Amino acid sequence: MADTLTITDNRTGKTYDLPIADGAIRAADLRQIKVAADDFGLMSYDPAFMNTASCRSAITYLDGDAGILRYRGYPIEQLAEQSTYLEVAYLLMHGELPNATQLAGWQHSVTTHTFVHEFLKRALEGYRYDAHPMGRLVAFLATLSTFYTDAKDIRDPDIRKQHAVRIIAKMPTIAAWAYRHSLGRPYVYPDNSLSYPGNFLAMMFQIAEPNYKPNPVLERALDVLFILHADHEQNCSTSAARGVGSAESDPYVSLAAASAALYGPLHGGANEAVLRMLRKIGNVKAIPAFIESVKKGEGKLMGFGHRVYKNYDPRAKVIKKLADDVFEVTGKNPLLEIALELEKIALSDDYFIKRKLYPNVDFYSGLIYQAMGFPMEMFPVLFAIPRASGWLSQWMEMLDDPEQKISRPRQIYTGSDARDYVPMSKR
């Protein structure tokens, strides 16, 4: 059986054979289908990219129906159980797990790039104390682009790698300092003797302790959350990073664009939205009325549903288990009871069953972050910190892909035909 698709154009009666590779036809092959020689040719129309593969990628495998997520072939559950975020970041960027020497070298590189130039501190201080930390992150990444001007040399693999390390290393510092600035607390400088998540916790929460040591359970929990958020193939923010990067913009502004996409409540901002929703519901008795309002279309059940997962999000499963470890240290988050009951009711309700709406990664993560002492506004930032390694891996893959060019979708024009300009006196 040939791997082709035969299309008959009923406008002309002509038949075309299009090759099928990896379960896809090439949209550009449709262009030969014309009604006249000067016809532009057939396009496919796919608002929101519901069924269009924009690239070939060897980084993350996702099967939404089966609830499977793998980085470079490794199941997310195994990585969450046995790996560390920095090792996963190496895996995503290099394609293979590091050996002991490679890992030590990688950790050393990241650890020795965590400091931020003193001059850049002034940029952080230009914001009002209550500026949203995601807005600051977007702007600060763009500011780094003005500082590291050699990053524009995106075709040089060494420069590219150097800036990727810088970004991964500095994300926690920038995030923690934005938080400290909002509270008027002095900045805590990176401590290179701590792990990646441990250093972040110290920069966030250290007050006057001379040798701040993060709680090991919370340190590990944060590392696992970072692993779970590191990549998720062609989502909205990754597509933004690839789209902007395809214009050969530098990695800082490409990631500023990705962070801007992640900021939205339908994407990385959902964990913050879940907490606001749980607070608004207030108590278990109010859940049925809330569910009814969602079913009437008056709002969404935040933390539920996914464009790709039509099954339980495998990350949500790991997070639900992780919550128990964290709550043992911090005490239970009082909103947990509402979340558990909400999940139970939603999963047995026809509206959600029919639409295959299951909890996603954001449903429980906010509860953990809150119990660990992070303010709600920091939740999307906690998503952005580890996703930086995914964005960078995808950005590099895009640059090395000979099939990729500047990203430029087509449109179907629906506006007026040509018409003459009307002078003001005649309008």
Q: Which is nearer to ligand CMC, 108 or 295 (CB)?
A: 295
Nearest-approach distance from CB 360 to ligand CMC, in angstroms:
4
Nearest-approach distance from CB 125 to ligand CMC, in angstroms:
30
Nearest one of 315, 311, 314 to 353, comparing CA atoms: 311
- Other CB atoms within a 10 A radius of the CB of residue 161 amount to 15
Binding site for ligand CMC (CB under 6 A): 232, 235, 266-268, 270, 294, 300-307, 355, 357, 360-362
Per the residue annotation, which of 223, 250, 313, 362 is the catalytic one?
362
E runs forming strands in 34-135: 60-63, 68-71, 74-75
Active site residue 362: yes
Contact 175, 381 (CB under 8 A): yes
Nearest-approach distance from CB 274 to ligand CMC, in angstroms:
7
Per the residue annotation, which of 63, 94, 267, 349 is the catalytic one?
267
Element (H, E) at 329: helix 314-330
Nearest-approach distance from CB 296 to ligand CMC, in angstroms:
10
Q: Which is nearer to ligand CMC, 198 or 243 (CB)?
A: 243
For residue 56, give both structure tokens. 């070939």
Contact 251, 163 (CB under 8 A): yes
Nearest-approach distance from CB 258 to ligand CMC, in angstroms:
12
- Other CB atoms within a 10 A radius of the CB of residue 151 amount to 23
Nearest-approach distance from CB 50 to ligand CMC, in angstroms:
8
Cβ-closest position to ligand CMC:
305
Q: Which is nearer to ligand CMC, 87 or 231 (CB)?
A: 231
Q: Which is nearer to ligand CMC, 47 or 184 (CB)?
A: 47
Active site residue 117: no
- Other CB atoms within a 10 A radius of the CB of residue 332 amount to 14
For residue 260, give both structure tokens. 């801007």
Helix and strand numbers (H, E) in the chain are 17, 5
Element (H, E) at 14: strand 14-19
Q: Which is nearer to ligand CMC, 77 or 401 (CB)?
A: 77
Residue with tokens 């496919």: 44
Give the CA angle between residues 145, 222, 347 to the nearest 5°: 110
Q: Which is nearer to ligand CMC, 62 or 141 (CB)?
A: 62
Active site residue 132: no
AA identity, residue 349: D
E runs forming strands in 258-397: none
Active site residues: 267, 306, 362
